[in-house]
Structure 1
């Protein structure tokens, strides 16, 4: 897999889930500006991979700005460093020498038809890669994108989703490149319509901690003082809990409940085929010029534009199944990571 992130609390959860998944071989993690600036995204990604035992994975830095628009970030949602209240240790190494766009091009040339691309942030890096080499999408086994909203309210403007709203021009470049692909390799889009049903709650965090062997019991409550820090004995559990507490407090303050919409781990599960989901084909496009609708994704479900469908949109899933699977997989990985290894 090639994983393109703007880490980000739910991006970090997606990376942890992929590391815990035997189906996933991560060829590289690419960083884009989005939730926080690209330098912070890179710092978060390197540190998180190291905390999770995989400092061997290449991390490449992408563009610091969108194609056209000024960069907007969302520290109010993800915290000043992008990982909530978590304080990750400094990574022991830095990113690779090549850019994220170069990595998209070079990895797909080296392994044509083998790699699945997963993008959980803005599409800037992939758009820049397509400018370097328009054949990138055709060399992917499949592309999965967390982004957009179609028959659902936006989370950035009334009609736009964050990842697309940060860089609508990049989304337009990538979506236009969907046209003409083999229907069996059409990109899968995971929009807010479905991902906002993936609601992580304190009980899920408590269960991960319990199965991972962390003590004391991990309890998150909306009645806790804001910013209360975890005392978990297992470092990954502690960082995970501190990140998710911030995210849950944000959702509570937005009158959404003491929960976290974890969009990106769900998209990762779609990419691996480990969660049930329903898709519907459509032709997709992005509004660039609307005074109040810029960044809106539009789906032509019935062929009004006279263009063939160019994407499969994930329109349904089973959240309870996803969380049962996610919790077990992540918890047992963290548990095994925490077991001291013998030097013999």
Structure 2
């Protein structure tokens, strides 16, 4: 009887998970994409989670940030082909420029405030295809950009699936700001926005004040953080605690396959030059959070805003525990995660076979 009861309980749980009440979370991946830095790694994980039906990845929307959107198009189109999801997950090109911030101001910020990593601002925007760098395994052979812009796709997806769409925002927030400004009626229909961005209690990584994603377009960040939506933020405060190092790399490349081989090609030379090479972990954290919220071990409810006055604090993230400025919204800001559990799941996902076989 006890065994029969356990069987019935398991069957009921399975049926509930398969029901519409437990449908996979619908996700838009808004990204300043690259081959295999943080955005590229996050996409590999998201594509595998999509194949496992743990999320429904509606599409990838591109925004200038790490690189100009033109280079990101090349890398993203190859990425969906590499993972074998090009027919299911469209790539939508978005904002090429921030709302106000521009490349001409960067030298002044560098001289006045000590600005570091400039992303796309390190070079003028490409004007021809021969200025773009192919991915290490070649260009996409048959996949093209979807006809809608990133802003159109965000608006249409949220309206098509009211209260169901999570926007995973791991780059500058220009696309989302434009969607909110163009169609403010979508705000109450967004399920939540999960971010990699900001530096709340630590210095920035682009200027002493500002984290790169939100520094690149502070005005957009302010627009997106202020609507009454559920906000979950992974700032540099947690990302700089989670280190990708040789131990993680060796776990990945011990497996043969398309993605481990890509790690060998892109990251192998870094470890060959310096066995102690390491990097922080950014976009993979909020990507895995979508299916494993229990990974978060420490968080605070803060009212988050952005300094948009040009000066040494331009792009600074501001977190208030009480007496917040008028118009700000409360956000869940993550400060700690279960690192062992994170790396175990991360390695499992990036070492699964690709192109993906539906599971």
**TM-score w.r.t. length of structure 2:** 0.77
Q: Say whether residues 1:208 and 2:252 are aligned partners.
A: yes
State which of 258, 267, 289 in structure 2 corresponds to 1:270: 289
Q: Describe the superposition over 1:229-286 as per-residue Cα deviations: whole angstroms up to 9, x where unpaired.
A: xxxxx33222223333577799x8xxxx611212001111123335511321111111
What is the rounded CA distance, in whole Å, between the counterparts of 1:7 and 1:268 in structure 2?
A: 14
Q: Which residue of 2 aligns with 1:196?
A: 240
After superposition, where does 1:146-295 map in structure 2 within 5 Å?
146-177=196-227, 180-181=228-229, 186-210=230-254, 212=255, 214=256, 234-245=257-268, 258-273=277-292, 276-277=295-296, 278-295=298-315
Question: Structure 1: which 4+ aligned runs deviate by more than 6 Å?
Answer: 246-250
What is the rounded CA distance, in whole Å, between the counterparts of 1:64 and 1:134 in structure 2?
A: 22
Contact persistence 2:83–2:356 (CA under 8 A): no
Give the greater-gyration-radius structure (CA). 2
**TM-score w.r.t. length of structure 1:** 0.80
What is the rounded CA distance, in whole Å, between the counterparts of 1:76 and 1:245 in structure 2?
A: 27
Contact persistence 1:67–1:124 (CA under 8 A): yes
What is the rounded CA distance, in whole Å, between the counterparts of 1:55 and 1:41 in structure 2?
A: 16
Deviation of 1:88 (Å): 3.3
Contact persistence 2:170–2:195 (CA under 8 A): yes
Deviation of 1:69 (Å): 1.1
Give the match's secondary structure for 1:64. coil
Q: Which residue of 2 aligns with 1:224?
A: none
Q: Describe the superposition over 1:168-205 as per-residue Cα deviations: whole angstroms up to 9, x where unpaired.
A: 1110111122xx34xxxx21011000011121112212
Contact persistence 2:155–2:179 (CA under 8 A): yes
Q: Gaps spanning 5+ residues in structure 1: where?
A: 215-233
Deviation of 1:6 (Å): 0.6
Contact persistence 1:281–1:301 (CA under 8 A): yes
Residues 309/31 of structure 1: CA separation in 2 closer, same or farther (3 Å cut):
closer
Q: Which residue of 1 aligns with 2:139?
A: 90
What is the rounded CA distance, in whole Å, between the counterparts of 1:205 and 1:15 in structure 2?
A: 17
